[in-house]
Amino acid sequence: MMKMSSKNSLESTVLQPILKVGKGYTILALFLLSVVLLGVFAFLTQLSQGLAATAMRDKIFWGIYIVNFVFFIGISHAGTLISAILRVTNAGWRTPITRMAEMITVVAIMVGATQILFDQGRPDRIFNLFLYGRYQSPLVWDLLSISTYLVGSCMYLYLPLIPDLALCRDRLAGQASRFKLAIYRVLAVGWTGAPEQKKLLERAISVMAIIIIPIAISVHTVVSWVFSMTLRPGWNSTLFGPYFVIGAIFSGIASIIIVMAIFRKIFHLEQFLEEKHFLKLGTLLAVTNLAYIYFTLAEYLTMGYKLAGEDKELLTMLFAGSQAPAFWAFLVLGLFVPLFMVVNKKTRNIPGLVVASALVNVGMWIKRFVIVVPTLQVPLLPFDVGIYRPTWVEWSLTAGSFAGFALLFMLFARIFPIMSIWEVREELETEKEKETEKVIEVPAQPQPKWTEVFPAKREEAR
Amino acid sequence: MVPKSIGRRQFLKLMGIGGATALLAPAVPAIMEKLDRNKAPGPSGSTGKSSAKKLRQWVMVIDLKKCDGCSTLGDIPQCTKACIEGHMIPTGPNGEWVQKWIEVLKEELPGGGNYFLPVPCQQCENAPCVNVCPVGASYTNEEGIVLIDHRRCIGCRLCMAACPYSRRFFNWGEPNQPAQAKFARYSPEFPVPYIKGTVVKCIFCAHNTHNGKLPVCVQGCPMNAIYFGDLEEDVATNKVEIVELSKFLAKNNAYRLKEELGTQPRVYYLPGHGEEFRGHNFERTKA
Amino acid sequence: MNMRICLVALFMALLGALSPTGAAFAAGDGSGDAVAAGKQLFSTKCAMCHGAAGDKVPGARLASPEWLSNKGDDGVIQAISKGKLPMMPAQGKAQGGTLSDDDIKAIARYLWNAAGISPEARGADTAQVSPVQSANVDKLNSANTEAVQVAVAPSLSLVAPTNWYRGAEGALSASLTTGAGQPMKGENITFYLDYDFFIGLDSGRVSDSIEIGRAVTDENGMARLKYAPRLAGDLKFEARYAGVTGTNGTVQSGVLVSTAAGKIEDDGHRFYRSDAGIPMPSLVHYSLVETPSLSPAAPFKHLTDLKLPALILGLLIAGIWFTYVRIAYGILRISRVYAMSHVHSTKESFEQTRFFLPVLLMVVLAIFALTLLSIIFTSPDTHLNLR
């Protein structure tokens, strides 16, 4: 049972990182910053040498930048699922998780969009997409959908943040820095907790929650259509839209579990992020895991049963050829081992779930690699196959992106509360009321004793 | 009615609308201009029309009976060589061929043996590369040639993914082109000098055909195996003889590569060594 | 009388031996040794590339009378001596080959003989061979068996239709008559069109005669070919009669050519239209690949170019972003609740309690939405071949 925490304990725990952090935080932040700077250096190298600094060539012209792009956009589905769907279905246990999930979404989309920037041959012409964009092109669908989703997620992050910002503005006056206080004041737009304001906010959040769900589904659908609008083996599939969406939700849940576990540990949130939250997320993880296994089976069985020309080459490469290690690693470590770990009682706890989620994320990154690169290794005309070994530039940019992802999170945690204080408080109070109702079962008026109502009968019976 | 003095609500509304108009006003002429210039890229100022008066619909016919990969010559394929030299195509650091806009491939015959298949850009009518370009840098001009405007290309390589014949090439680094390439005046019909980070491919020598000359691969083939023709006038030539295109294709069982993909390419092949053919699919050339 | 009949009979016998059969290679040219030597040389030196029947190399139609006549005797000898690089090496001794002049002449004789062209008809090197008018041909005219008399050679005349439009079927008629004016029935006439591809700069001009059809003469000696030209302008047509034995027993030789000029008007009709894309039901005929509308040009071209998918997508994006702006307006109202309540309770002025962020947010969202919509509605046209 959730312990009944006092208001102060919740606030002080969650607001603590804003005021002060330990040495470990600083060291980690500096380390991540150095990795990001390495990525910046690699990008500058790439800008001067052109994409020749990567291992991509005319045969295999999309590499791990695209893999990273799909990966990050994939895990950005975390926020939507948790916040929006669980809100719409009135699942109360979502409240400590929503803020982190929404943060994952915003940061992941931003990092994912930069991956596309790294992949352009002419990044200086990126605005041509706005000046000359063609709505018939899958990349423009990406632009429309991802920008809509980014803005929507930012708003969906901001709206429930308003009461917490007001709280910070009020509680931390005099303790936090002037810069932070100014941010709180501006962003809180005069929130006082007045009933009219509450009503307006609730309405706004509900509307956002409803429209953000189809937008999120459209995002990874159009990302998948960049591949499936081409005539290449493995990509020329009608299943890609739903396949990618399920995969995105799957890896998104895994990311939330990892982020939750990390923040729980370093910010001492054990009181509020209990095992039951992890277990519920674990159930969702298992469900999407099964769904993903189903889609993977549907995809490869329909290909493998027919073995049309180029498909046969692709599947040979995946099952028994040069990409077999990657494929089987994804299948076993990324799909079946996590499923087993979630279902099995012995590993159905927080450490087990974190390990399973880490395996899922690694497996899904490998899966995205298996989608992008082997298809390009199947020659469409009789010529030699290409090889692809990513260079240090590509690996540095990848590492820099992941470091940037983590760093942005850390910065976020220093400015904004990483749990939605007012929602958690509301949820705690709702639960307290329910509990109180259960304990006091006797109604308000005292009932008369039976002997007082029918004294004579009793004595007569004797 | 006496107009009331403006209230706070209305004041805010006005501020908002005024601010929005002030910010958006400069964008309106730009948008109107874009609506006017809603056309494909091309040489500056034009819509991509050819300079010749007739409207041609270019087509290429490659006679596989005659092509032997220049193996009897004991030399590298002359069509590829003519193309690379004629367009100053970037080569590798040691001068090796990295971009073969027309590439002669050696295919196996089902019954054993080989034949040679020169593959240029197929200039598809339903070109997947044109369909997916996000900025409209790849476009089909009125003559059916697929051109690229390298001033607009952002280097996303979605067109390379979409091409089912792998006929597009990318300038990954600074292109290693001959010195005289720098003095050429750029146009999509003759895309020299080449630009780092953009996509290139065979363009049926649009610069030549607009000036009454045959493509360089047609000119350079010693076996006269490549015919270049016009579907509108129903003729084709391999620089030695002229043939009536529709009859030529019908008589020789012409076929196209990967017909089932629906790209409707403009390059026909005349089999002669036992290659598969797809039957008579050139009703398009008849009136 | 008897003597004459015998003479004529003897002569006829000789002729019978001489008559070409068209397809098979036969000996006999008056100098049978030369032809036989030529045949031997041909089979050892030439047949490996050109084939035993001389038709293996496309472009070198050694068995075709027209092709040989085009080249002329000199031309044939030159071709053998100098070769045709890069495919055929030179054969003449002077050019580094192995054949002497006599050898080459013998091969040439063999070729002419096999095609059935008499020595007299082998001279000209131009495309136009004038109708054969000579006493030699008179000898071959067997219409009159009484006496060998000088007769006029057959004549061929071609007439092209007038008022001819590009793409319209017109009838080219060639009439073949004997020297005496009798129509010749059942003869094969081949029709050609002289074409100049790439009319323009000299380098690159290719000129050739394209065979456009064949027809057989009827009882009136008329051979008609229905032809729909795909090009316009002042065109030159040719009819050629190659002198194969006809059913009326005459033996002709040489190639009769008759030219006619045809003026073809162009009404701007386009014959070749691509059908890429797929039609979808809608008010305006359109497709995913934007095939052109079949209706005449509408007054506001840009608005009718608004294809249905663009419209749907635009409405969708507009709807979503309008919702965003409305939510931003909700934030504005939240801030105004504060402003309203605090102006009265504290001494802060109205300006100090207003927040600029919500208004800024609405403006930024609106601008971004308009940018995205402008992408959709002003997409460049990239399928000019479908217009």
Residue A160 counted as domain residue: yes
Residue among C317, C355, C358 whose CB faces A144 most closely: C317
Q: Interface partners of B (3+ CB pairs, < 8 Å)?
A: A, C
Residues whose CB is less than 8 angstroms from the CB of residue B65 and which lie 6 or more positions away in sequence, other chains included = B225, B270, B271, B272, B273, C58
Residue C22: predicted pLDDT: 34
Q: Rank A165-174, B35-44, C28-37, C53-62 by mean pLDDT and report only the highest.
A: A165-174
- Indicate the angle between helix axes C357-377 and B27-36, nearest 10 degrees: 10
pLDDT-derived band at C209, boundaries 50, 70, 90: confident
More confident residue, A258 or A458: A258
Which of A195-209, B273-287, C152-166 is least confident?
A: B273-287
Q: By CA distance, what is C342's nearest residue in A?
A: A190
Containing domain of residue A275, as a range? 12-426
Which of A87-101, A109-123, A236-250, B40-54 is least confident?
A: B40-54
Which residues of B, range 254-273, sit inside 8 Å of C by Cβ?
264
User: Could you tell me the two tokens for C264?
Assistant: 């073809």
Residue B12: predicted pLDDT: 63
Domain CATH number, residue C36: 1.10.760.10
The reply to whether C252 and C319 lie within a common domain is no
Residues of C in contact with B249 (CB under 8 A): none
Q: Which is it for strands C256-265 and C164-165: parallel, antiparallel or unpaired?
A: parallel
Q: How high does pLDDT run on average in chain B?
A: 82
Which of A82-86, A383-387, C145-149, C191-195 is least confident?
A: C145-149
Contact between chains at C201 and B224 (C-beta distance less than 8 A): no
The reply to whether C265 and C336 lie within a common domain is no
- pLDDT of C303 > 50? The answer is no
Residue B2: predicted pLDDT: 46
Residue C139: predicted pLDDT: 40
Which of C83-92, C209-218, C344-353 is least confident?
A: C344-353
Residues of B in contact with A234 (CB under 8 A): none
Q: What gap in Å lies between CA B230 and CA B60, rounded to an integer?
A: 8
Residue A194 counted as domain residue: yes
More confident residue, B200 or C116: B200
Q: Rank A261-275, A434-448, C245-259 by mean pLDDT and report only the highest.
A: A261-275
- pLDDT of C17 > 70? The answer is no
Which of A188-197, A265-274, B80-89, C246-255 is least confident?
A: C246-255
Residue B18: predicted pLDDT: 65
Q: How high does pLDDT run on average in chain C?
A: 71
> pLDDT digit string (tens) for C96-115?
667 777 777 787 777 777 77
Residue C204: predicted pLDDT: 58
Domain CATH number, residue C238: 2.60.40.10
Residue A228 counted as domain residue: yes
How many A×B Cβ pairs under 8 Å? 137
What is the percent of chain A with per-residue pLDDT over 70, rounded to a whole number? 95
What is the percent of chain C with per-residue pLDDT over 90, rounded to a whole number? 10
Residues whose CB is less than 8 angstroms from the CB of residue C261 and which lie 6 or more positions away in sequence, other chains included = C160, C234, C235, C236, C237
Contact between chains at B128 and A231 (C-beta distance less than 8 A): yes
Asked which of C219, C254, C272 is the last residue of a domain, the reply is: C272
Contact between chains at C337 and A197 (C-beta distance less than 8 A): yes
- pLDDT of C40 > 80? The answer is no
Contact between chains at B156 and A120 (C-beta distance less than 8 A): yes
Q: What gap in Å lies between CA B235 and CA B227, rounded to an integer?
A: 10
Q: Report how many domains make up chain A.
A: 1
Strand-pairing partners, residue B138, are: B148
Residue B31: predicted pLDDT: 52
Cβ(A410)–Cβ(A82) below 8 Å: no
Q: Report how many domains make up chain C.
A: 3
pLDDT-derived band at B46, boundaries 50, 70, 90: very low
> pLDDT digit string (tens) for A344-388?
999 999 999 999 999 999 999 999 999 999 999 999 988 777 889
pLDDT-derived band at C366, boundaries 50, 70, 90: very high
Contact between chains at B135 and A128 (C-beta distance less than 8 A): yes
**Mean pLDDT, rounded, for C281-308:** 43
Residue C287 counted as domain residue: no
Contact between chains at A232 and B131 (C-beta distance less than 8 A): no
Chain B contact probe: residue of A139, A223, A384 with most B CBs at under 10 A: A139
The reply to whether C143 and C173 lie within a common domain is no
**Mean pLDDT, rounded, for A126-141:** 91
- Indicate the angle between helix axes A240-266 and A350-376, nearest 10 degrees: 140
- pLDDT of C305 > 60? The answer is no
Residues whose CB is less than 8 angstroms from the CB of residue B149 and which lie 6 or more positions away in sequence, other chains included = B41, B42, B136, B137, B139, B188
> pLDDT digit string (tens) for C172-200?
898 888 877 788 888 888 899 988 887 54
Contact between chains at C272 and B31 (C-beta distance less than 8 A): no
Cβ(B267)–Cβ(B120) below 8 Å: yes
pLDDT-derived band at A249, boundaries 50, 70, 90: very high
Residue among A130, A197, A207 whose CB faces C323 most closely: A207
Contact between chains at C204 and B142 (C-beta distance less than 8 A): no
Residue C296 counted as domain residue: no
- Cβ neighbourhood burial of A30 (10 Å; 0-12, 13-18, 19+): exposed
**Mean pLDDT, rounded, for C238-256:** 65
Residue C280: predicted pLDDT: 60
Residue A353 counted as domain residue: yes
- pLDDT of C16 > 80? The answer is no
The reply to whether C114 and C234 lie within a common domain is no
Residue A461 counted as domain residue: no
The reply to whether C65 and C181 lie within a common domain is no
Q: What gap in Å lies between CA B123 and CA B92, rounded to an integer?
A: 26
- pLDDT of C238 > 70? The answer is yes
Residue C106 counted as domain residue: yes
Residue C346: predicted pLDDT: 59
**Mean pLDDT, rounded, for A163-184:** 88
Residue A245 counted as domain residue: yes
Containing domain of residue C175, as a range? 155-272
**Mean pLDDT, rounded, for A296-308:** 94
Q: How high does pLDDT run on average in chain A?
A: 90
Q: Which of B82, B108, B195 is nearest to B149 (CA)?
A: B195
Residue A2 counted as domain residue: no
ipTM for the predicted complex: 0.88
The reply to whether C328 and C367 lie within a common domain is yes
**Mean pLDDT, rounded, for C138-155:** 47
Residue A63: predicted pLDDT: 95
- pLDDT of B50 > 50? The answer is no
- Give DSSP secondary structure letters for C324-383: HHHHHHHHHHHHHHHHHHHHHHSS--HHHH--SHHHHHHHHHHHHHHHHHHHHHTPPP-B
Residue A382: predicted pLDDT: 80
**Mean pLDDT, rounded, for A135-158:** 95
**Mean pLDDT, rounded, for B70-85:** 88
Domain CATH number, residue A388: 1.20.1630.10
Cβ(A394)–Cβ(A55) below 8 Å: yes
For every residue of chain A, which 3-state class applies, written as one string? CCCCCCHHHHHHHHHHHHHCCCHHHHHHHHHHHHHHHHHHHHHHHHHHHHHHHCCCCCCCCCCHHHHHHHHHHHHCHHHHHHHHHHHHCCCHHHCCCHHHHHHHHHHHHHHHHHHHHHHCCCHHHCCHHHHCCCCCCHHHHHHHHHHHHHHHHHHHHHHHHHHHHHHHHHHCCCCCCHHHHHHHHHHCCCCCCCHHHHHHHHHHHHHHHHHHHHHHHHHHHHHHHHHHCCCCCCCCCCCHHHHHHHHHHHHHHHHHHHHHHHHHHHCCCCCCCCHHHHHHHHHHHHHHHHHHHHHHHHHHHHHHHHCCHHHHHHHHHHHHCCCHHHHHHHHHHHHHHHHHHHHCHHHCCHHHHHHHHHHHHHHHHHHHHHHHHHHHCCCCCCCCCCCCCCCHHHHHHHHHHHHHHHHHHHHHHHHCCCCCHHHHHHHHHHHHHHHHHHHCCCCCCCCCCHHHHCHHHHHHHC
The reply to whether C93 and C161 lie within a common domain is no
Chain C contact probe: residue of B232, B246, B248 with most C CBs at under 10 A: B232
Residues whose CB is less than 8 angstroms from the CB of residue C285 and which lie 6 or more positions away in sequence, other chains included = C279, C291, C293, C294, C295
The reply to whether C258 and C330 lie within a common domain is no
Which residues of B, range 33-52, sit inside 8 Å of A by Cβ?
34, 41
The reply to whether C182 and C198 lie within a common domain is yes
Q: By CA distance, what is C327's nearest residue in A?
A: A204
Kind and range of the H or E element at C192? strand C188-197
Radius of gyration of chain B measured on its C-alpha atoms:
25
Residue A261: predicted pLDDT: 94
- What share of residues in chain B are helix, strand, coil (percent, to 5)? 25, 15, 60
**Mean pLDDT, rounded, for C367-372:** 95
**Mean pLDDT, rounded, for C256-279:** 79
Residues of C in contact with A142 (CB under 8 A): none
- Phi/psi at C188 (nearest 5 deg)? -90, 125
Residue B245: predicted pLDDT: 93
**Mean pLDDT, rounded, for C135-164:** 58
**Mean pLDDT, rounded, for A144-158:** 95
Contact between chains at C333 and A162 (C-beta distance less than 8 A): no
Chain B contact probe: residue of A231, A377, A388, A391 with most B CBs at under 10 A: A231
What is the percent of chain B with per-residue pLDDT over 70, rounded to a whole number? 77
- pLDDT of A164 > 60? The answer is yes
Q: What is the largest CA-CA distance in chain B?
A: 100
- pLDDT of C375 > 70? The answer is yes
- pLDDT of B36 > 50? The answer is no
Residue A207: predicted pLDDT: 94
pLDDT-derived band at C157, boundaries 50, 70, 90: confident
Residue A162 counted as domain residue: yes
Contact between chains at A133 and B135 (C-beta distance less than 8 A): yes
How many A×C Cβ pairs under 8 Å? 92
The reply to whether C201 and C162 lie within a common domain is yes
Residue among C197, C199, C201 whose CB faces B237 most closely: C197
Residues of A in contact with C376 (CB under 8 A): 135, 144
- pLDDT of C8 > 60? The answer is no
pLDDT-derived band at B210, boundaries 50, 70, 90: confident
The reply to whether C28 and C55 lie within a common domain is yes
Cβ(B48)–Cβ(B141) below 8 Å: yes
Asked which of C148, C171, C197 is the last residue of a domain, the reply is: C148
> pLDDT digit string (tens) for A316-333?
999 999 999 999 999 999
The reply to whether C37 and C94 lie within a common domain is yes
